[in-house]
Amino acid sequence: MNSYKKLFNNVVIFGIGNLGSKIISFVLVPLYTYYLSQAEYGVSDLVFTTSNMLLPLVSAMMYEAILRFIMDKNNSDDTSRL
């Protein structure tokens, strides 16, 4: 039962993080469109989209690798390697 509780807690944490970033984006889009012209908004959207596409390559997906290492049961039990 403990493993199910841990799974549920992890799902809730990831869900809040994912939903939170989407809500922030949803709130900021009307502000962008209000203050920027169509051309300026197009350029900013192109820059944001390009940076989001290049971010995993530039960071070498370190976030996912660290998260996978931490969540691995065999590695989380052995704290001497940290």
- List, for residues 31-42, the tens digit of each pLDDT value: 988 999 999 999
| CA dist 1 → 5, 6, 8, 24, 57 (Å) | 6, 9, 11, 35, 39
Per 3-state DSSP, the chain is made up of helix, strand and coil in percentages (nearest 5) of 85, 0, 15
Domain segments of the chain as ranges: 1-35, 39-74
Tokens describing residue 1:
């039962």
pTM as predicted = 0.51
pLDDT tens digits, one per residue of 23-76: 998 999 899 889 999 999 999 999 999 998 988 788 877 777 777 777 776 655
